[in-house]
């Protein structure tokens, strides 16, 4: 029996969601508060539970529909898009590779029926940096008769105190590496308000400290080792589910395009006596912006279509496709800002926010240098 509605993913319905979320995005960007209103809009539309598996009574949206959802959310508010991307990825992963204790995931689903219930992988650490760069976590779980005791300090935990559940990357006292599923309201969890970032300011990507947090025996799941016996961060390799972040930033680029168009249609310089949208220079700039967005969208959905068709030859190239999408997103947004000059960098103009948000696409793994290095080594080793 279905527990969650099948969302309306028509272009009109998604555009309505985008507009509602965009109405409050600027305010949340200024305050840095969790974008509760935008999340509520996405929840009411059924978008935050779209990837819940059929076995759990969900719509089981696939990667292409998920990408369309996240583009719409990212166009409204990049912070809402990021929070949703992490949550949708969590639900999709639980459907394909169940790893949560049954009672914990059931609790998340129950909360998700009542309102937005956020979950996210909490991996980075102040000393370690990004796990994709290698190394083992210093956050630990120690086994005791009643379960596990969690201790450690994590950085860049998107969602902050708004998380219903944390999926924490840890080192067990027996040497295994894995994650523990942690309810966000347990004693021993404290937040450090460290997030003061260029973009995604409402994402609440703060530091979190775990001090003797007690968990049941089922909370820990080991991450499988590679064939060589080494643990590797799953984010290093891009798969079909790894295109959620690029999808939301395509939404940011689309929002930048819309802001550029709105300004060009309404700006009438005294010397020109007509909207700048009627000049060939601005029309050519608009074409360049559109070119970059079309390129990014075609790369995203083209790759997902090939994967749906079973084309596994694309797998080694997915990280490079993400890099190409990132470059196109940034190029589109920077082109819009550069053409407008000072107005494009003024906080009263949403383009300024879109530029800051778009630049954040670079931080998501695999990062550009790592993807280029892996791609170069691959082709140079090919006979």
Residue 340 in this model has a pLDDT that exceeds 80 = yes
Residue 9 in this model has a pLDDT that exceeds 90 = yes
Residue 134 in this model has a pLDDT that exceeds 80 = no
pLDDT band at 280 (very low <50, low <70, confident <90, very high): very high
Q: What is the chain's length?
A: 383
Q: What is the pLDDT of residue 129?
A: 60
pLDDT band at 231 (very low <50, low <70, confident <90, very high): low
Residue 383 in this model has a pLDDT that exceeds 60 = no
Q: What is the pLDDT of residue 213?
A: 98
More confident residue, 266 or 237: 266
Q: Name residue 172's beta-bridge partners.
A: 141
Under 8 Å between Cβ of 124 and 130: yes
Residues 6+ apart with CB under 8 A from 28: 34, 35, 37, 38, 77, 79, 201, 202
Under 8 Å between Cβ of 193 and 157: no
Quick: pLDDT tens for 175-218: 999 999 999 999 999 999 999 999 999 999 999 999 999 999 99
CA distance 350 to 353: 5
Residue 223 in this model has a pLDDT that exceeds 60 = yes
As a whole-number percent, the residues of the chain with pLDDT over 90 amount to 90
Q: Which of 41-50, 112-121, 122-131, 265-274 has the lowest mean pLDDT?
A: 122-131
Residue 131 in this model has a pLDDT that exceeds 90 = no
Q: What is the pLDDT of residue 229?
A: 66
pTM of the full structure: 0.95
Peptide bond into 173 cis (omega under 30): no
Q: What is the mean pLDDT of the chain?
A: 94
Which domains occur in the chain, in start order?
11-116 (1.10.540.10), 122-222 (2.40.110.10), 235-380 (1.20.140.10)
Average pLDDT over residues 367-372: 92
Quick: pLDDT tens for 39-98: 999 999 999 999 999 999 999 999 999 999 999 999 999 999 999 999 999 999 999 999
Residue 256 in this model has a pLDDT that exceeds 70 = yes
């Amino acid at each position: 029996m279905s527990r969650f509605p099948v969302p309306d993913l028509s272009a009109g319905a998604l555009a309505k969601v985008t507009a509602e979320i965009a109405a409050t995005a600027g305010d949340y960007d200024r305050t840095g508060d969790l974008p509760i209103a935008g999340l509520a809009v996405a929840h009411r539309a059924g978008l935050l539970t779209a990837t819940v598996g059929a076995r759990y009574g969900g719509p089981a949206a696939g990667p292409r529909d998920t990408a369309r959802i996240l583009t719409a959310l990212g166009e409204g508010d990049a912070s809402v898009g990021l929070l949703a991307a992490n949550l949708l990825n969590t639900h999709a992963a639980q459907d394909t590779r169940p790893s949560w204790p049954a009672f914990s995931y059931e609790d998340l689903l129950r909360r998700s029926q009542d309102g937005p219930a956020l979950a996210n992988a909490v991996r980075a650490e102040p000393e370690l940096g990004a796990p994709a760069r290698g190394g083992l976590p210093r956050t630990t779980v120690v086994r005791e008769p009643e379960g596990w005791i969690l201790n450690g300090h994590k950085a860049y935990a998107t969602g902050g105190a708004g998380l219903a559940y944390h999926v924490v990357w840890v080192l067990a006292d027996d040497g295994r590496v894995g994650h523990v599923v942690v309810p966000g309201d347990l004693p021993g969890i404290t937040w450090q308000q460290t997030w003061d970032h260029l973009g995604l300011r409402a994402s609440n990507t703060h530091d979190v400290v775990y001090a003797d947090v007690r968990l049941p025996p089922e909370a820990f799941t080991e991450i499988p080792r590679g064939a060589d016996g080494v643990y590797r961060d799953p984010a290093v390799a891009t798969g079909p589910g790894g295109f959620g972040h690029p999808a939301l930033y395509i939404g940011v680029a689309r929002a930048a395009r819309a802001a550029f168009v709105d300004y060009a249609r309404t700006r009438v310089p005294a010397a020109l006596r007509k909207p700048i949208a009627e000049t060939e220079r601005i029309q050519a700039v608009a074409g360049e912006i559109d070119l970059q967005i079309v390129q990014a969208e075609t790369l995203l959905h083209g790759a997902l279509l090939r994967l749906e068709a079973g084309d596994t030859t694309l797998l080694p190239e997915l990280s490079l496709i993400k890099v190409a999408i990132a470059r196109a997103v940034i190029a589109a947004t920077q082109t819009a800002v550069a053409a407008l000059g000072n107005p494009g960098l003024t906080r009263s103009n949403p383009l300024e926010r879109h530029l800051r948000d778009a630049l954040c696409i670079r931080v998501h793994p695999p990062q550009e240098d790592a993807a280029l290095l892996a791609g170069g080594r691959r082709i140079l080793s090919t006979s």
